[in-house]
Structure 1
Amino acid sequence: MVESGTVGETLRRLRIASGHSLSAFAEIIRYDKGYLSKIETGQRRPSLAVLQRADAALKTGGTLVAHIGHQGRAARRLPKQRPPADVAASNSTGRAGLPELVDRLAARGIARQGGSIEVAPDRTSHRRLAATAQALSQDLRALCQQVNATTCAGLVEPWALTLAASVAGCPDETCELLEPAFAYADLAGWMAQESSSEAVDDWIELSAVLAECLGSADAVAHTWIRQAETALYRCDAAQVLSDAGSARAAAGPGAGVLVSRITAQGAACAGDHDAYAVAVDQMRATTDRPVVIGRFRLGSTSITDLLGATIGWCEVDLHRPDQAIQFLEQTVATLAPTSVRMRGLFAARLSTAYARIGERRQAVEVGRQAVAHARRTGSGTTRVQLRAVSHELRRWRRDSLVQQFLAEAAALT
């Protein structure tokens, strides 16, 4: 619930009610006292990040973040989804928007990357294209864990657009290229997210249209989860929870654990301890199985304990670093050496947790591993996490090792 008054007035009222002086509270949430004073008096507009930290520290359940809601969000939203049961009867209508989406994405530079788009003209060509796409799919996903995101995008995008364009031109009511087209559009969306591409919303929209054509509840839910993830890396907790709610409304049994995972992350980001606990309990009660769309597996194949990885991630946002470290150390230790992208992301979260308990040497050691991984993969999501690490370590900026890390992270981010 949003309290009356400005966000600054609400922050001041809640801080005083909790018994914290301005100086003490500034130390708790690691923000400058003068900056917080200006927020409380209305002289400065607060960032989402400071409100999230304040909500977490004051255990408000997201009251401060609710003040700003969805303001300032410029990204285009997904097209409204039909209920999955209605989709099968509207496949031909759903395909109508594919040519425009393909043209829009191709205009963003696919030719400049050396790729090309060709339409498979007949059923025989469709079968060959589908078989080749299936054979390459897992190898491409594995490659995308290890090399630069922009490089991977250049490999994946021509495939995704060729498949989508072929689906648009398919005369049959059902098309065997739908499953690979959706899987490749989803993979292209992931790489667009990782490379911080402005095309990420278009790729998610393409995935949404293809999911609608498939008539798969899990495909529709996965598209909403992908969009929620883009909001998570912008620290837009309200949008994460909104998209997670849409995913839950659409999801079949296969995507249930992934919906609970992104819900837990959104709740933790908002500082809502109760909603986080409910989502984690839902994860425990749901069978952890991969999301499979026909012959294609979606989501991470790197994490062996999704529940533990989720708890470790969320405990950082809930400012319980000791608990976070326990789970994140296990997550990083069990990731395969080839899962470079995931290793970088979770190492950065672990580094933040170490810094928060004052273990700056361990924070620097693990943080430098994250920098090395991010340098190799070009991961935009890891760069976001490294900025958080740098923020935590700046209180020791006179330490030579910390100085070196801050310089390396700054050069990357």
Structure 2
Amino acid sequence: MSMSLSFGAELRRLREERGLSLDGLARRLRYSKGYLSKVERGERAASIDLARRCDAALGAEGSLSDLVRGASGGEHAETGEEGGVSGRRELMAAGAFSLLALSAAGRPAGVRGQVGAAAPVEFGPTVLLREEYDRARRLGQCVDPAVLLPLLVEQGRTTARIAASTTGRTRSELLLLASRFAEFTGWMAQEAGDTRAALTHTAEAVDLAEEAGDQHLASYALVRRALVTFYDGDSAQTVALAAAAAENRKLPHRIRGLAAQREAQGHALAGDHLRCMRSLDQAHDFLASADRDGASGPLIGTSNLPDPAAMVTGWCLYDLGRPQEASEVLDRECARIPAHALRTRTRYGLRRALAYAAAGEVDQSCAVAGELVGIAGEVRSATVAADVRRLDRELGRFRSHRAVRELQPALLEVLADRH
């Protein structure tokens, strides 16, 4: 029996022995019933913080904590990423953007050392960890995702541990932030080419969001799964998953818009122009409403596209076999991507180069790609590499063209480096 399963079985035994329902224990511990149910079934490993709370609630005198501590060596060593625990420690020791450094340097200048200031600036774990999250998102735009992953995992777990030590609104805010860390970790895992880890981290994000009282992220997880099937070229599954995500009409506009975008991409893969455009119209309307809502908190999905629906329209037009139209849209939208968003610029810029190549505008395609292949080699992305391969195949029709011959070594270098 695994340690997670033995802990869950003992938790259930003690709970039932005390005559306490799962719902009653959940209310007492301020955890969701669904989350505790997964712990009892051995589907989720319990943290030491949860074990301690269960000990107190059930009068178990530390027996549950002992079970978790007995498994701590194996639990902490299992990162699910390359490099393991030693690689993670090296990254944390290097101080890429550690909490300690942020505590010392991230406090607003007007607050540090000013006790009783007339106009205090909000300062606390939520503010600091939100800055940490924003830094991680920016870093994810310019570094190899495989290198960043161990640090993201640690930051997310740290945020969840801090949340467990707080109560009330702060606890909910930190759990929600931990869920965003897990969701972003899932995206970086996909960028690193590890689809299984991507889905695992996304599922963790859903659990954390549910703990925070946010029931909507489960629908967004379907959108993320649809992205996996989209890159696998499975149009039917992409449409089905995205449509399932959008079934809940009470979802925030942002998630409904992202679901409609993904559904449009699935229809484009299937060659269904009418349904694709209809879904894109819905995406545009929902995302525009989301912008008007002005929701606070970490943004779900990309934060580097001024008009995501417009950019995805260009992408879909390429998949629909309309490269000329696609290049016109992508020209306009790529010019609006912030300069610092290297990964985003590379992804959509290469799609722009693809559109030009498919439209037979070889010189323009090579010029666009030539500006991006160096960045592609630095940020390293499985999804970008897929488009580099497509571009190499697309330009293969023009091997005798001088611009293609000059570009090909750089394309091959990116692919060889990724391999």
Q: TM-score, normalised by structure 1?
A: 0.69
| 8 Å CA contact 1:95, 1:213 repeated in 2 | no
| 8 Å CA contact 1:134, 1:180 repeated in 2 | yes
Task: Pick closer, same or farther for the CA change 1:377–1:364 going to 2, 3 Å.
Answer: same
Distance 1:352 1:107 in 2: 34
Q: Once the 2 structures are TM-superposed, how far is the Cα of residue 287 of structure 1 from its aligned partner?
A: 4.2
User: What percent of counterpart residues are identical?
Assistant: 23
Q: Once the 2 structures are TM-superposed, how far is the Cα of residue 217 of structure 1 from its aligned partner?
A: 4.0
Indicate whether 1:106 and 2:79 are aligned. yes
The Cα offsets for residues 306-329 of structure 1, whole Å up to 9 and x where unpaired, read as 221011010000000111011100
| 8 Å CA contact 2:254, 2:286 repeated in 1 | no
**Which runs of 5 or more residues in structure 1 are unaligned?**
1-86, 118-126
User: Does 350-359 or 99-108 show the bigger shift?
Assistant: 99-108
Distance 2:310 2:377 in 1: 26
Task: Pick closer, same or farther for the CA change 1:403–1:207 going to 2, 3 Å.
Answer: same
Distance 2:296 2:309 in 1: 25
Match of 1:354 among 338, 348, 356: 356
Match of 1:146 among 142, 147, 159: 142
Distance 1:193 1:206 in 2: 15
Q: Once the 2 structures are TM-superposed, how far is the Cα of residue 129 of structure 1 from its aligned partner?
A: 4.7
Query: Following superposition of structure 1 onto structure 2, how do residues 11-410 of structure 1 map, counting pairs within 5 Å?
Result: 90=33, 92-93=35-36, 96=39, 97-99=43-45, 106-108=79-81, 109-115=83-89, 129-164=125-160, 175-176=171-172, 177-197=174-194, 198-250=196-248, 251-288=251-288, 289=290, 295-410=297-412
| 8 Å CA contact 1:343, 1:373 repeated in 2 | no
Task: Pick closer, same or farther for the CA change 1:151–1:89 going to 2, 3 Å.
Answer: closer
The Cα offsets for residues 208-264 of structure 1, whole Å up to 9 and x where unpaired, read as 222333342432222222222222222222222122122112433331211111111
Q: Once the 2 structures are TM-superposed, how far is the Cα of residue 94 of structure 1 from its aligned partner?
A: 5.7
Q: TM-score, normalised by structure 2?
A: 0.68
| 8 Å CA contact 1:164, 1:181 repeated in 2 | yes
The Cα offsets for residues 325-375 of structure 1, whole Å up to 9 and x where unpaired, read as 111001111111101101101111111111111111111111222322211
User: Does 351-360 or 250-259 show the bigger shift?
Assistant: 250-259
Task: Pick closer, same or farther for the CA change 1:155–1:110 going to 2, 3 Å.
Answer: same
Distance 2:44 2:282 in 1: 36
Distance 1:92 1:199 in 2: 20
- Give 3-state SS (helix, strand or coil) of 1:211's partner: helix
Aligned length: 318
Q: Once the 2 structures are TM-superposed, how far is the Cα of residue 92 of structure 1 from its aligned partner?
A: 4.9
Distance 1:104 1:214 in 2: 27
Q: Once the 2 structures are TM-superposed, how far is the Cα of residue 89 of structure 1 from its aligned partner?
A: 5.8
The Cα offsets for residues 16-75 of structure 1, whole Å up to 9 and x where unpaired, read as xxxxxxxxxxxxxxxxxxxxxxxxxxxxxxxxxxxxxxxxxxxxxxxxxxxxxxxxxxxx
Task: Pick closer, same or farther for the CA change 1:157–1:266 going to 2, 3 Å.
Answer: same
User: Does 343-352 or 93-102 show the bigger shift?
Assistant: 93-102
Task: Pick closer, same or farther for the CA change 1:343–1:328 going to 2, 3 Å.
Answer: same
| 8 Å CA contact 1:145, 1:340 repeated in 2 | yes
User: Does 140-149 or 182-191 show the bigger shift?
Assistant: 140-149
| 8 Å CA contact 2:254, 2:300 repeated in 1 | no
Which residue identity does 1:281 align to in structure 2?
D
Distance 1:395 1:361 in 2: 13
Task: Pick closer, same or farther for the CA change 1:377–1:403 going to 2, 3 Å.
Answer: same
| 8 Å CA contact 2:326, 2:355 repeated in 1 | yes
Which residue identity does 2:212 align to in structure 1?
L
| 8 Å CA contact 1:194, 1:380 repeated in 2 | yes
Distance 1:333 1:92 in 2: 44
- Give 3-state SS (helix, strand or coil) of 1:363's partner: helix
The Cα offsets for residues 268-313 of structure 1, whole Å up to 9 and x where unpaired, read as 1121222202202212432423698863222211111222101101
Task: Pick closer, same or farther for the CA change 1:100–1:399 going to 2, 3 Å.
Answer: farther
Which residue identity does 1:276 align to in structure 2?
C
| 8 Å CA contact 1:302, 1:342 repeated in 2 | yes
Which structure would you say has the larger RCO, counting Cα contacts within 8 Å and 6 or more residues apart?
1
Distance 2:396 2:131 in 1: 47
Distance 1:344 1:323 in 2: 20
Q: Once the 2 structures are TM-superposed, how far is the Cα of residue 376 of structure 1 from its aligned partner?
A: 1.8
Distance 1:92 1:389 in 2: 44
The Cα offsets for residues 371-403 of structure 1, whole Å up to 9 and x where unpaired, read as 222112112211111111111110111234313
Task: Pick closer, same or farther for the CA change 1:367–1:219 going to 2, 3 Å.
Answer: same
Task: Pick closer, same or farther for the CA change 1:262–1:272 going to 2, 3 Å.
Answer: same
| 8 Å CA contact 1:156, 1:184 repeated in 2 | yes
Which residue identity does 2:344 align to in structure 1?
M
Which residue identity does 2:371 align to in structure 1?
Q
Q: Once the 2 structures are TM-superposed, how far is the Cα of residue 186 of structure 1 from its aligned partner?
A: 0.8
| 8 Å CA contact 1:91, 1:173 repeated in 2 | no
- Give 3-state SS (helix, strand or coil) of 1:99's partner: coil
Task: Pick closer, same or farther for the CA change 1:173–1:336 going to 2, 3 Å.
Answer: closer
- Give 3-state SS (helix, strand or coil) of 1:296's partner: coil
Distance 1:345 1:94 in 2: 40
In the other structure, the counterpart of 2:103 is: none
Task: Pick closer, same or farther for the CA change 1:188–1:292 going to 2, 3 Å.
Answer: farther
Task: Pick closer, same or farther for the CA change 1:293–1:159 going to 2, 3 Å.
Answer: farther
Task: Pick closer, same or farther for the CA change 1:244–1:215 going to 2, 3 Å.
Answer: farther
Distance 1:348 1:373 in 2: 11
In the other structure, the counterpart of 2:413 is: 411
| 8 Å CA contact 2:32, 2:211 repeated in 1 | no
Task: Pick closer, same or farther for the CA change 1:205–1:92 going to 2, 3 Å.
Answer: closer
Distance 2:258 2:279 in 1: 10
| 8 Å CA contact 2:77, 2:85 repeated in 1 | no
